[in-house]
Structure 1
């Protein structure tokens, strides 16, 4: 265990216990890694809440005037800005605002935007005018410091005005900061992008929610296209894109670096006219969600968090027998799990409303992994609303789209995205999801080969980025290629497609289920576990018999052999055996299972029902929780 590990443990303990800590002691860890800084920032917030703001400002002043390294100075300025502290005058911060270090310069701008005379030392033009992120940040800073100033014009142009009056009801912000909202299945974008899109539309139809803002991120490519940061998605559903200063999309390992900037940007966007927010809802245990919790605090809004007992319940099992040395990969994995556990703990502590995934042991299991709930230091609501999927709306061009997709599928086995045309009568296995180790597409291919199913079935994998694959996606595709290299004939029976828009996937699933182009098709989700499995529900809704992992939330709605199938996905051997059994069932038996599955979705899992339940919870927590 390193000195930094010990510092992280002490800071996490202080934050969890809710005990004020000497600010001078806290800042001794300001030079540490981003995950340690997350713990420091949480302990710092606890200390400020206990009334130690004056001492904290004095400590920051002494340290900043001592000229710490640029990265540390940036972090300390962010601590000051987030806590509303003013340890430096504008003149004392002027040199940092012109720093050659990008992080220090940006933190100084954010700090100066909120203090007296800050505009007097702010540059009017970014050092590199072609740098879209920096130009937007500086414009947003100017708009914050001097509303209406000419230097803020670029920010005002990037945020399309919302109508000043929303519909009657609450204003809700929901976040999806990992992945791309409009590209489900690419990178870290999964079913959540589809869920939040449909849910945001449905919430505004409940009569309780007047406006929804879905917070997503905009990286360099998006910013380079000069698209608006605020766009309308539905009548009262808006997407707000938070600029991120990173060459790669956010992921759980990098989000800590951007936590302060994410909170600052989200606070600015939700301060726009017409965006006064009542509830902020985050759904992932990562630093981006901590930034959303901080945004809710700054706006005096209620904070909702969808909580699951992961990785809490699996950490001991995962790391029990691993050799851990301070600089080893197992040690890095353990540190990340401990960080995620701490982040989840802090999100639970900050939440006014906890939302659990229905069908598991739910709220009854939570105190085992979150003991702070048992003590109930402060009351909060815990709810388990049903999850659901948006309805499929038939379109006049669906038949042509289905024909195009099926033509692509059976374009020939010599293509990586095609199957042999003479295989159009065989049973097709479909799997849709982002290419990621937890989704286990490589295990599915291995089991498919081990079971000999490549001789009697075809396999279509959909997911992953097209031309801009992430290292994780490239690694998964490499593992699949290695498996197929041992079975050359199988290559003509497997097709791999990059992610498709959700509507195309749902049209494809209906085409496969119809039986007009191929034999009885089966949807297969090989994930290690699914918290709920929205893609499984969509396949069931399309009329496909669906199979999903026995671990996670899928058993909540699938009864094995009745309305779907449960798969042991812990190893390729047991998965192969179960797949062989399912694929060996006669067509009429599969049709019965598919029909029951479709009925299950229709009866229990609509986005409208989910929206009604959530809207009621939002209304109750706003009415009943004092901030």
Structure 2
């Protein structure tokens, strides 16, 4: 991995890196893992400080006095105590787990994380009795369903069959679906209610049809020879938010582009048998396309996990689907004809915890890419007056989830920060310092080689004509004859800050020297977050008609079209003076930035996050402060007024660096080494644990009658063929040969 030139002056502490400023959140975490002296409590704040109280409650030693809270609620303190206990490995008993299920989504997440170990430590009989007592009480549906899920997670039998069958007919979808999943532990899938038998329903929808098929299918799918895998490690990677092949729309961003290219590259890498990319599919998407497993490329498949939601699931909703996601992932990964060896997850959210649980149940090794987000901003965002209490609670939940994923993972890798190492990761995850192997590796991320898309010329010519018309319409005396085209590409989302960019561009006067082209967002206004961002963008230029006429908002384009557009803009022969700006509040890595650099554009990007790892200010681009409209405006003027000769030199340096170092092929080779290092040990553990239901925490849970030994050179189902993983048509009876868990 290349390092920045030491002769080039660099800000010694860019935003996002550990600095000399005190960070009580990082200090509390370091002290918890005994990596630093415990900070002095100091004087009690005159006003209630929720941040300080919750951090103290969650990270204090057990023998330290709890203190008297002024801002925290009793529920906050109970949840903090539960997290503290789980982090320390002191598993709460089943009765406590059952009682805390009613305390909200965040408490439920901690309970589900602790539950497998609680059952192992206290036994299945005690756990089943605790669930039974909970179910026999008067409970609302939002508590009954998680209780059933607790039982299903460990194949417990807390109710007599008639009692469970009554719940299988419940009008509440979450309750009856949880009851159906639990019926599998009773070997009672044949007793499922017929479609339309549930009160208040006429016929099953796509999700329910698929769930019935999953429970009733008798065996694994056929494995046509045309879909054979190579000998080696079978890898699964996850992207649970957004669409893999629609970057820039809704929640779909650079991760989809990354995983698509990475999966293709991994499938070509020595030692990798094949790749599965796991995504989610909501109910309307299942109705439109019932195929769950489809080939993307040679030895690369996309596996869709059904989600019972009327719309694509968002990050704040994943917790409500966590156990169902774990069940589906376990079921589908167990139906492939051979075990998945390694599951690689990214992002600290409830969906990743669900997949971590599926890895435990199927015996797959778990690799986690950790990032110090939201850790690096906790103090800055929440320690001052006027903090949003709910946002603070959510961020503390994300930190807890990240800690649990680090604990569960067989290998942790990081995203390289400034300087190319994972030093910032150790600063915010002090528990990593005590793991075998020392500091985690930070494999370089990368982009796929550029390949011109078919028929791109006509589409891009049309776009360039639109840009050219906007340039011509804004020409006037006193303005540059050929203003600069400022391009930005990204999904419409608050973290991407398109509204801040437009406001900075207008207020700084940069609009007088440029036309701003923003690419991103769905063509429709169906997504509320995108609608809100468009409204803020419109408000940002409402008071400045001159800026409004120089702003061009385009919907998201296919990645290949974006890269073609960038190349055409960067080519001086096309008559454009073009530059690229990334206005995000922070970027953990910034694939769109890499793509613009590779195309030959001069790039300005955030100094916060992972971009300074590869972008050295003044050498191969510009680092700018995107924390507010004022500083972003200053960065825009600096970008626009950079000398053309210097800009061309920086763009050449950037292009050479990306093409030589940051490719998806190099990333695939680096990750494959991690996968092949952990897979053999996990295979051995899997074989040793298979005979015992009460074995170690990482034990496979194979469906009855299924062999989990697998073998190299075995097969996946032929996509789109008669054995494709597919939900049955609406009017058809559930088929029994399509797939099986």
Distance 1:209 1:368 in 2: 33
Distance 1:340 1:396 in 2: 42
Distance 2:493 2:103 in 1: 30
SS at match of 1:113: helix
Contact kept? 1:547, 1:567, Cα under 8 Å: yes
Please report how far the alpha carbon of residue 88 of structure 1 lies from its aligned counterpart in structure 2 after TM superposition: 2.3
Partner of 1:29: 100
Q: Which runs of 5+ in 1 are unaligned?
A: 149-155, 325-329
Partner of 2:428: 369
Structure 1 residue 283 corresponds to structure 2 residue 340:
no
- Inter-CA distance 129–452: structure 2 relative to 1 (3 Å threshold): same
Distance 1:419 1:334 in 2: 47
SS at match of 2:389: helix
Please report how far the alpha carbon of residue 58 of structure 1 lies from its aligned counterpart in structure 2 after TM superposition: 1.4
Please report how far the alpha carbon of residue 161 of structure 1 lies from its aligned counterpart in structure 2 after TM superposition: 7.5
**In structure 1, which of residues 81, 101, 122 is the aligned counterpart of residue 192 of structure 2?**
122
Distance 1:473 1:341 in 2: 27
Contact kept? 2:433, 2:439, Cα under 8 Å: no
Structure 1 residue 48 corresponds to structure 2 residue 119:
yes
Distance 1:233 1:162 in 2: 17
- Inter-CA distance 228–63: structure 2 relative to 1 (3 Å threshold): same
Please report how far the alpha carbon of residue 305 of structure 1 lies from its aligned counterpart in structure 2 after TM superposition: 0.6
Structure 1 residue 341 corresponds to structure 2 residue 404:
no
For 1:184-263, what aligned pairs fall within 5 Å after superposition? 184-263=247-326
For 1:131-530, what aligned pairs fall within 5 Å after superposition? 131-143=205-217, 146-147=218-219, 165-274=228-337, 276-323=339-386, 330-360=388-418, 362-376=421-435, 382-395=440-453, 397-412=455-470, 425-530=482-587
SS at match of 1:12: helix
Contact kept? 1:439, 1:526, Cα under 8 Å: yes
Please report how far the alpha carbon of residue 360 of structure 1 lies from its aligned counterpart in structure 2 after TM superposition: 4.0
The range that moved more, 510-519 or 385-394, is 510-519
Distance 1:420 1:74 in 2: 60
Distance 1:339 1:585 in 2: 43
Contact kept? 2:432, 2:439, Cα under 8 Å: no
Please report how far the alpha carbon of residue 435 of structure 1 lies from its aligned counterpart in structure 2 after TM superposition: 1.1
Please report how far the alpha carbon of residue 112 of structure 1 lies from its aligned counterpart in structure 2 after TM superposition: 0.6
Distance 2:407 2:522 in 1: 36
SS at match of 2:305: strand
| CA-to-aligned-CA distance 1:474-509 (integer Å, 9 cap, x gap) | 111111101110101111111111111111111111
- Inter-CA distance 162–495: structure 2 relative to 1 (3 Å threshold): farther
Contact kept? 1:410, 1:421, Cα under 8 Å: no
The range that moved more, 611-620 or 355-364, is 355-364
- Inter-CA distance 108–197: structure 2 relative to 1 (3 Å threshold): same
Distance 1:182 1:162 in 2: 28
- Inter-CA distance 262–90: structure 2 relative to 1 (3 Å threshold): same
Distance 1:279 1:98 in 2: 38
SS at match of 1:561: coil
| CA-to-aligned-CA distance 1:515-545 (integer Å, 9 cap, x gap) | 3444321010011111110000000111111
Contact kept? 2:625, 2:632, Cα under 8 Å: yes
**In structure 2, which of residues 160, 168, 171 is the aligned counterpart of residue 100 of structure 1?**
171
Distance 1:68 1:296 in 2: 31
Contact kept? 1:78, 1:260, Cα under 8 Å: yes
Contact kept? 1:267, 1:299, Cα under 8 Å: yes
| CA-to-aligned-CA distance 1:568-608 (integer Å, 9 cap, x gap) | 11121122122212211232322111111100101110110
SS at match of 2:440: strand
Partner of 1:39: 110
Q: Which runs of 5+ in 2 are unaligned?
A: 1-71, 686-697, 699-741
For 1:63-102, what aligned pairs fall within 5 Å after superposition? 63-66=134-137, 68-102=139-173
Distance 1:421 1:574 in 2: 27
Contact kept? 2:447, 2:595, Cα under 8 Å: yes
Partner of 2:46: none
- Inter-CA distance 516–484: structure 2 relative to 1 (3 Å threshold): farther
Q: Which has the larger radius of gyration?
A: 2
Contact kept? 1:542, 1:598, Cα under 8 Å: yes
Please report how far the alpha carbon of residue 303 of structure 1 lies from its aligned counterpart in structure 2 after TM superposition: 0.5
Partner of 2:605: 548
Structure 1 residue 562 corresponds to structure 2 residue 619:
yes
For 1:8-19, what aligned pairs fall within 5 Å after superposition? 8-19=79-90
| CA-to-aligned-CA distance 1:252-283 (integer Å, 9 cap, x gap) | 21110010111111112212234520001110
Distance 1:498 1:197 in 2: 21
Please report how far the alpha carbon of residue 66 of structure 1 lies from its aligned counterpart in structure 2 after TM superposition: 3.3
- Inter-CA distance 215–614: structure 2 relative to 1 (3 Å threshold): same
- Inter-CA distance 346–486: structure 2 relative to 1 (3 Å threshold): same
Please report how far the alpha carbon of residue 129 of structure 1 lies from its aligned counterpart in structure 2 after TM superposition: 2.7
SS at match of 1:181: coil
Please report how far the alpha carbon of residue 163 of structure 1 lies from its aligned counterpart in structure 2 after TM superposition: 5.6
Contact kept? 2:318, 2:350, Cα under 8 Å: yes
SS at match of 1:263: helix
Please report how far the alpha carbon of residue 369 of structure 1 lies from its aligned counterpart in structure 2 after TM superposition: 2.5
Tell which has more relative contact order, 1 or 2 (C-alpha 8 A, sep 6+): 2
TM-score under structure 2 length normalisation: 0.78
SS at match of 2:103: coil
SS at match of 1:509: helix
Distance 2:353 2:426 in 1: 21
The range that moved more, 354-363 or 441-450, is 354-363
| CA-to-aligned-CA distance 1:176-209 (integer Å, 9 cap, x gap) | 0011112111111110000000000000111111
- Inter-CA distance 469–408: structure 2 relative to 1 (3 Å threshold): farther
| CA-to-aligned-CA distance 1:545-569 (integer Å, 9 cap, x gap) | 1111011111111111111111111
Distance 1:443 1:39 in 2: 36
SS at match of 2:669: helix
Please report how far the alpha carbon of residue 411 of structure 1 lies from its aligned counterpart in structure 2 after TM superposition: 4.9
Distance 1:535 1:525 in 2: 8
- Inter-CA distance 375–51: structure 2 relative to 1 (3 Å threshold): farther
Partner of 1:60: 131
